[in-house]
Amino acid sequence: MRSGSHTAAGIVLAGLAMSVGWGIRGDYGHEAGAMIPGALVALAVCLASGREDWWRRASVMGACGAIGWAFGGQMSYGRIIGYTASSSLPDVYYGYACLFVVGGLWAGIGSAFLAMSITQPASDLERFVRPIVALGLVWLIMAWSGLTSYLAGQWSLNDTDWVGALSALLVAGGCAVFFPADRRACGLIATLAAGWWIGYLLLTVLLGLRMTPPRSDNWAGCVGLFVALILYLLKRRDRVAVTTVGWGVLIGGIGFVLGDFVNMLGRAEWGPIGRYGILQGLDYWKWMEQSFGLVMGLGMGAVFLTRVAPRISRPAEDSPKRWFRTASLVLLLPVMMWLNLSKNATNWVAQNRVPRDVLGIGSTWWFLIVGVLISAGAIVVIIRYHRGGLAMSPTSGFGRAQLLFLTILWVFTIGASMQALPAMSGRATFLVQVSFWITAGICSLVVLGLTELPVSEPLESWSASADSWRLGRRFWASLCFVPLLLFAVAGMTVASHAEPLPGSQLRFDSASLPTSPPATTR
């Protein structure tokens, strides 16, 4: 078995990787930005597991982590944090309760997808390639043609991402008709899309529940999707994934609550922050985001490295094909990077940070040329790797996992700093960006220090469907403790400031005129 120090290093790596990933995610936002911390925490767990079967699935684990955590990116939480900045205890408690729900949904769905990457047979995973590629192409065409914006403008439906959910349902149905062998994979996509619609229609339309009016009610769709995912996992008897979902909900919810508590103390200039000028005027919103990721990453690392990795049996490698691994690399490298880093160029052009044109060619076209060349290079590398002809690729699964983790980590760390560079003259922004580099540097040292020696086989391994996988009394006791934790945190938050903080919101006083929420809304 793996030594305790190695496991501890892996848990720390998962926490730091998700911390820096979540901080970077705040610079890009939404679903695409949330893919970054999801991929990093999944690869961190993979590297520290000591399992050769996980190392061989490194790209799959990274892609499933990215997809799983991307779902939560549709939920808005800027106004919720405004509630916690109030001086009214009911509003503050409501804000923290909503943050627990959002964080729990985010990590619960993410941990389920990460678990499925190590429980599902290779043959089942291969069946997802065509439906996912088809759905990605449909979304791309709809976005570039303006159809998505047009439909969302015509029918807002509480500012939700209903277009994405409806198109996913239709594409899944179409793929099931044209590719009968992929029907099980299409079934999961359709189940999640239908669950999203049921959640939205039931909670928001029929019951009239609005978490943060007038902001988006994607949270309701995520609740439905979450329930549908649980039912799917129970039907498949994937008890490992169900177990990780439970812990993910608890850890993600607590992480969001504690992260925002740090934010409130900083903005209220409580205690030492009020006494020492050096601690004032910092970007406590960004430290909140990094705290989200730190707590969530530490928890996910502990769950997967201490509960799952030592006990779960090897997943079935019952397919000689490697298309899902190849598609995973495409998602993690050119796709994820294009979705996020293209915003650098967009912001530079919008802020007049670059010339409008050079040699009669607009700067946007120059950026497009560079982006296409870089993406083409990445795709060539992936194709050569798929064919087994890439000399620069490490020979071991562990080495390839190391290279993939470090590539994603440093590409986005450098990319975030390049985007922030014009504003880094400010002390707060500079400190945040330096913290990204320091955290990424520590992560790199930990990754390079991990050993490639696999752990010995456990004396007893459990299949993903074994009844031995249970959440246990510790989990249920912790879950029952949550309301008390929320009350304690809310009380301390109210006590930290006499007046409502800037950007505060009131949920239960319709006559009030709340100030505007912070600029970051998700």
pLDDT at 2 over 60: no
pLDDT of 522 reads: 43
What does the alpha-carbon distance between residue 177 and residue 186 come to, in Å, rounded to a whole number?
10
More confident residue, 408 or 347: 408
On average, the pLDDT of the chain sits at 91
**E-state strands within 112-208:** none
**Rg (the chain; Cα; Å):** 23
Residue 125: CA atoms inside 13 Å, Cβ hemisphere, count?
Answer: 30
Band the pLDDT of 426: cuts 50, 70, 90. Answer: confident
The pTM (predicted TM-score) of the whole model is 0.93
- Per-residue confidence (pLDDT) for residue 1, from 0 to 100: 46
pLDDT-derived band at 514, boundaries 50, 70, 90: very low
Q: Tell me the pLDDT tens digit for each residue of 218-236.
A: 999 999 999 999 999 999 9
Please state, for a pLDDT cut of 90, what percent of the chain lies above it: 72
Contacts 24+ apart (CB under 8 A), 457-460: 458/1, 458/310, 458/311, 460/311
pLDDT, residue 100, reads 97
* Token representation of residue 134: 């088809």
> What DSSP letter does each residue of 282-342 carry, written as one string?
--HHHHHHHHHHHHHHHHHHHIIIIIITTTBPPPP------HHHHHHHHIIIIIHHHHHHH
DSSP designation for 447: H
**281 vs 18, higher pLDDT:** 18
Q: Per residue in 108-159, pLDDT tens?
A: 999 999 999 999 999 999 999 999 999 999 999 999 999 999 999 999 999 9
Picking from 245, 251, 266, the residue whose alpha carbon sits closest to that of residue 15 is 251
Taking alpha carbons only, the member of 118, 5, 39 closest to residue 446 is 5
Q: 33: helix, coil or strand?
A: helix
Which residues on neighbouring strands pair with residue 357, listed in sequence order? 362
- The one-letter amino acid code at 258 reads L
